[in-house]
């Protein structure tokens, strides 16, 4: 089972180039980064992780720029987002960012996507909250059109693009797309419809939910099985052994949003799981 990591990188933490080198040298499989463009100082939306909202949420680095820096100093380290708030992006620009990062890194990128929780943040991007799921799906479809080998047009409910020359292309046609969110028929239906798998936060309850996801996948006519990557996990030997017993191939461990010394100490602690 591959052991990857995630961290809230900010202007106050370890730098992405330093972290990327240390992860690869120690044998970790990957680095996933979250995204928040900003956190409105006044909001009615309660933070799902509890209040007060941790300081790092309002200080996150842009994940694509940070991952590009990590990619430049590594050769094997997988790169990913956990998660990209697709609804908050212009899809043409986002498709170019993703394709460029995946091309320059030699196909090492995984696009973790999600719907978000912060109504006020999304509103500042012009997102109508009730339609964010449909908007996300539509924008992913538009991006796939731009990643296609030949000029491909797309017209959806929320946007369109003409058949276009759009290079570079992702290294393997399209990056792996994993959808984050809580277990349930709505999310599993979305995964089966247009994603490659699921990023379950914390990884609880997988014994019960994996069969439900696999059934939704099969009912949608998908072949094989969905990829499942437990995300932001606080590890223990028993927990990781359980994931292996479930047949999972990758897990993403949570690093502290801290300076270099603390992050490197945590990596040394996590090395026991490699």
pLDDT, one tens digit per residue, over 157-186 is 999 999 999 999 999 999 999 999 999 999
Q: Is the overall model pTM greater than 0.85, yes or no?
A: yes
Q: What is the pLDDT of residue 153?
A: 98
Spatial CA neighbour of 213 closest among 230, 225, 203: 225
The whole-chain average pLDDT of the chain stands at 98
Sorted by where each begins, the domain ranges of the chain are 2-273
Q: What is the pLDDT of residue 182?
A: 95
Q: What is the pLDDT of residue 57?
A: 98
Q: What is the phi-psi region of residue 214: left when phi exceeds 0, alpha when psi lies from -120 to 50, beta otherwise? A: alpha
Neighbours of 236 (CB within 10 A): 10
Q: How far is CA 171 from the centre of its chain?
A: 18
pLDDT, one tens digit per residue, over 96-111 is 999 999 999 999 999 9
Residues in the chain: 274
CATH 3.20.20.30 fits domain 2-273: yes
């Amino acid at each position: 089972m591959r052991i990857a990591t995630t961290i809230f990188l900010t202007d106050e933490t370890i730098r992405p180039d330093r972290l990327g080198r240390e992860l690869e040298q120690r044998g970790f499989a990957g680095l996933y980064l979250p995204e928040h463009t900003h956190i409105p100082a006044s909001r009615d939306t309660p933070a799902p992780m509890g209040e007060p909202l941790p300081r790092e949420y309002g200080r996150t680095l842009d994940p694509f720029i940070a991952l590009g820096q990590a990619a430049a100093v590594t050769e094997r380290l997988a790169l990913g987002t956990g998660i990209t708030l697709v609804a908050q992006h212009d899809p043409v620009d986002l498709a170019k960012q993703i394709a460029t990062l995946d091309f320059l890194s030699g196909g090492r990128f995984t696009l973790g996507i999600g719907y978000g929780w912060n109504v006020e943040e999304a509103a500042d991007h012009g997102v109508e909250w009730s339609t964010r799921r449909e908007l996300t799906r539509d924008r992913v479809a538009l991006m796939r059109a731009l990643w296609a080998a030949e000029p491909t047009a797309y017209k959806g409910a929320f946007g369109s693009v003409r058949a276009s020359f759009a290079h570079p292309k992702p290294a393997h046609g399209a990056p792996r797309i994993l959808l984050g969110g809580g277990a349930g028929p709505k999310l599993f239906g979305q995964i089966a419809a247009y994603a490659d798998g699921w990023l379950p936060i914390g990884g609880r309850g997988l014994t019960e939910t994996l069969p439900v996801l696999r059934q939704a996948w099969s009912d949608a006519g998908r072949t094989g099985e969905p990829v499942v990557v437990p995300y932001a996990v606080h590890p223990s030997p028993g927990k990781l052994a359980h994931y292996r017993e479930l047949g999972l191939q990758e897990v993403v461990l949570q690093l502290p949003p801290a300076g270099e010394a603390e992050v490197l100490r945590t990596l040394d602690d996590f090395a026991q799981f490699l």
